[in-house]
Structure 1
Amino acid sequence: MRSYEPMYHVGCLDVEFGGAHAGCSYKVYYPTNLKPKWGFWRRPANVETWRAYWGMLVFQANAQRWNVAARALAWAFCFVVWTIFRVLATLEAREDAPLIESEEGLDVVAFSHGLAGFATCNAGLACELARRGIVVFAIDHADGSATVSKRANSSGVQWNLYVPNGGKFEARRAQTTTRLAEIASCADVIDALNRGETSTKNLLATRNNVNLHSMFRGRLKVDSKTLMGFSFGGGSAVVASANIDTFARVVVLDAWLEFMTDLECLERACRIPTLSVISEKWGTNARTENKHVLTRGKNRTFCEIEVPGSKHHCFSDVSFFFGAMKKVIGMVGSVDTRTFHAFNAEIIATFVRSSSAASLDDELRRVIAEYDSSLPGATLRR
């Protein structure tokens, strides 16, 4: 049996607090004993709104500048695509399910999505972690970098779209400042839920009116929280590790570092245990001067795993949509996405739960060996 064979089903819910915790919302994935409901209409959507596709067009093609007729056609196209995938792509999760009963506290991860991502863009990996008993708070960043972000308002929910900024690095650095505040707020929210604070209510009220304050009270290992990020979110996690001291470890997936100019920050970053997982095609992009500054002298805290046959988008749920076609054009590599997500989840679970730095490398290599037949050639290095 593998070290952390999936044991649970997945529950999920939306969370947003006001007051001192205002700023952004979260999609929370957690272990439950209830099976997902049958039927796509009774399962949470992998993409919650057609606006996510429109936001992607804004990001990729400045679609907000198109004329009225072109925008109308694009909106119709996005709605049709969303409708199709609302049927074909749902999360294997149950909304508002009860948390598992456990005598021990549950490991908890705060997750920062990448550029033009959103809270459910990496749901495949988040669900795999939840199946292994880990609670994941996926931050729905409101810094303008998401194709769409979800916020509560007086009439229910509003969707904020990607904010074009020319892709300039100084704009990304400004967004990182906002993300730092959102990551710190997420850590505070996790702590508040673990304390069972009742002073704030969930603005994204659930259909079943789940009592968050009793659900998570005393259930989370808040003293050993993990910060995880993908791509721009990985870069955000690196910066956060140099400025926020509430996390015990960091996991970065294809971390994007090129926009950073604060070398002192990079030198301070990742002095806590850090796991980097990179795709094969990310290697050239990752091996920059910033990467050298980040890892220099940190062989005791920084370890990295590279997976041949994988590409950047394999970490997200992008390959679930027209996956065969995207393999043909070389967008998602040759690996099976679900296997890749399961592998990453076991690697991350092993890293999070390791009780000994001395034995961590052996534990990670054991997981790599278990997946060698389906993901051959993965390597661990320091």
Structure 2
Amino acid sequence: MSVIDAVVLFASVALAITLVAAPRIGRRVAPFALPVLIIGALLLWVLEGYWHWWPLYPLLALMFAFVVTDVAGTRRRAWFRAGIGVLAAVSILPWTVPPSPELPAPTGPYAVGSEIFRWVDERRPEPVTAAEDRRNVVVQAWYPTELTSGRQWVYLDGQDSLPSRVSGIPGFLLSDTIIDTHATADVPVSPAREHWPVVLFSPGYGAPRAFYSGLIADLASRGFVVLAIDHPYESAVTELADGTVATTVENIAADDPDAIRYMTERLETRTADLRFVLDQLARPEVIGPLAGHVDLGNATAIGHSLGGAAALSALAADPRLTAAANLDGTLYGDLPERALDRPVLLLESDHEVTGHSQRYLDGNRGVLERLRAPGFRYEFGDADHFGFTDVPRFLAAPVRFVVTRFAGGSRPAADTQRTANDILTPFLLGRTTEVAAAAADHAGVTGGPVPR
């Protein structure tokens, strides 16, 4: 919420309260205040176009009618005042669901550039749709740059064709939302170094890549080329290479009530997606501004939730990856029994807050016990599962405060993301001896290197 948003909204509500509680005073003040508020509200509509402010306009209209007309009769005055009171209450809704969530600014020394690639893997059929469809993989690259262009990609793919819900968030809350990702398009990769380390990022089940923009932009500002991957027909919304907007398609068989087989299949598809992205990075003609600037000898994978499992699965399957980090991901298939031979990092939300399943606990324990390389595990006290994402930013700060007091997870998402990146940075650069010190700099973080 900007300053002008707050001033217009709260001044309008204050005038409404005055008209309801002290109508004589309100009717004296209104002739001076209403014109200013109406002009401010129209400016909001023209400049920002937020549908979130719609209750404000009937409220101003009703207050105007109440002031300029001679409302005779006790009952009619009561109805006017009741209507003003109801609309004033409804007008406060944008205070709980902000029209434009504000993502934390990146903390690294570089500005951030961004480019979107919509690739088709001609070798693989799309497992969800007709056999003749080829597998699409949508990737948004975030990279260090020295320049800004003023042009951004929209936050979500398919902005004009969103489903009714996007990972649990009502689609209408996102349909006309302008979010500053702190990354601009049409800018070159920073020449500060010839080649930059590469990080593949896989999101949580059903979550679009956009929901991790805060974490990813910050990581890119620290000197990484981060490739955030959308997995079509599993992500809530993805625009394919031909312009088709794909949404989540769940085909869970009746004899798979816990969706274990289904999730294992999704993990296998994601693993192939990540390996395909590595293939594409070796083709300069398809990677736009990244050509000649990526260090394929220093490629790692990270992910959140199912994406974390995908990162470990890709590490197990592809020797081109040098390390992988799992952020709160439950493992499926035979992954818990694999003996991985390159470094692994497990970052976890608070166990009591999130309530991790037994499958999660057993699977990650199995991987770390069998690990034949340096391993680390850290738990973030008071962080919940969604703290690694932008999702908490879709609630205004006062509402987040109240929710966390009842549901737990009082560690702010911005702090969770910054803490995660402080630990991830040395790990992804191969400086494993610095990981423990990075974790020790943050209060409420427990854990450490895994005994070998």
Which TM-score applies when normalising by structure 2?
A: 0.65
How far apart are residue 43 of structure 1 and its match?
A: 3.5
User: Pairwise CA RMSD of aligned residues?
Assistant: 2.7
| Distance in structure 2 (CA, Å) of the matches to 1:365 and 1:29 | 27
Q: 1:54 is aligned with what amino acid?
A: S
Correspondence 1:179 to 2:252: no
Matched, 1:15 2:124: no
Q: Aligned partner of 1:132: which letter?
A: R
Aligned to 2:395: 322
Secondary structure of 1:338's counterpart equals helix
Counterpart of 2:196 in 1: which secondary structure? coil
Of 45, 70, 94, the residue aligned with 2:154 is: 45
| 1:158 corresponds to 2:244 | yes
- Asked if residue 137 in structure 1 is aligned to residue 213 in structure 2, the reply is no
CA distance in structure 2 between the aligned counterparts of 1:332 and 1:16, rounded to whole angstroms: 38
- Structure 1 residues 326 and 5: alpha-carbon distance in aligned structure 2, compared to 1, 3 A threshold: closer
CA 1:303/1:123 → structure 2, altered by over 3 Å: closer, same or farther? same
Q: Which residue of 1 aligns with 2:345?
A: 275
Give 5+ residue unaligned stretches, structure 1.
62-76, 201-211
How far does residue 342 in structure 1 lie from its aligned partner after superposition? 1.9
Structure-to-structure mapping, 1:198-277, within 5 angstroms:
198=285, 212-213=287-288, 215-257=289-331, 260-262=332-334, 265-277=335-347
Partners of 2:231 and 2:115 in 1: CA distance: 16
Q: Distance in 2 between matches of 1:52 and 1:136?
A: 25
Q: Distance in 2 between matches of 1:351 and 1:233?
A: 18
Separation of aligned partners in 2, 1:44 and 1:378? 37
Aligned equivalents of 1:279, 1:228: Cα separation in 2 = 15
Give the gaps of 5 or more residues in structure 2.
1-105, 124-134, 253-257
Deviation per residue, 1:218-267 (Å, 9 max, x gap):
3211012001111011112222222222211101100112xx242xx433
Aligned equivalent of 1:78: 171
In structure 1, what is the equivalent of residue 145 of structure 2?
32
- Is the 1:250–1:270 Cα contact (8 Å) retained in structure 2? no
* 1:46-90 deviation per Cα after TM superposition (whole angstroms, max 9, x unaligned): 33426555243xx769xxxxxxxxxxxxxxx733x1245x23x32
- Kindly tell me: are residues 293 and 129 of structure 1, through their superposed partners in 2, closer, same or farther at Cα, counting changes over 3 Å? same
Answer yes or no: is 1:54 the counterpart of 2:54.
no
1:118 pairs, out of 183, 192, 208, with 208
CA change 1:103–1:290 in 2 (3 A) is closer
SS at match of 2:190: coil
Mapped pair 1:351 → 2:437? no
Q: Which moves more between the two structures, 237-246 or 25-34?
A: 237-246
Q: Percent identity?
A: 22
- The verdict on how the C-alpha distance between 1:288 and 1:368 changes in structure 2, with shifts beyond 3 A counting, is closer
Check the 8 A contact 2:305/2:329 in 1, yes or no. yes
Listed one character per residue, the Cα deviations across residues 306-340 of structure 1 (whole Å, up to 9, x for unaligned) are 11011100011111111533443336721222232
Report if aligned partners of 2:303, 2:325 keep a CA contact under 8 Å in 1.
yes
Aligned to 2:340, the other structure's residue is in SS state coil
Look up the equivalent residue of 2:266 and give its one-letter code.
Q
Paired residues of 1:307 and 1:379 also in contact (CA < 8 A)? no
1:147 partnered with 2:240: no
Number of aligned residue pairs? 322
Q: State the one-letter code of the partner of 1:221.
A: D
Once the two structures are TM-superposed, the CA of residue 300 in structure 1 deviates from its matched residue by: 4.2
Mark the CA change 1:33 to 1:378 in structure 2 (over 3 Å): closer, same or farther: farther
Deviates more, 1:235-244 or 1:300-309: 235-244
Change (3 A) 1:5 1:92: closer
Equivalent in 357, 375, 379 of residue 285 of structure 1: 357
Contact 2:338 2:370 in 1 (8 A): no
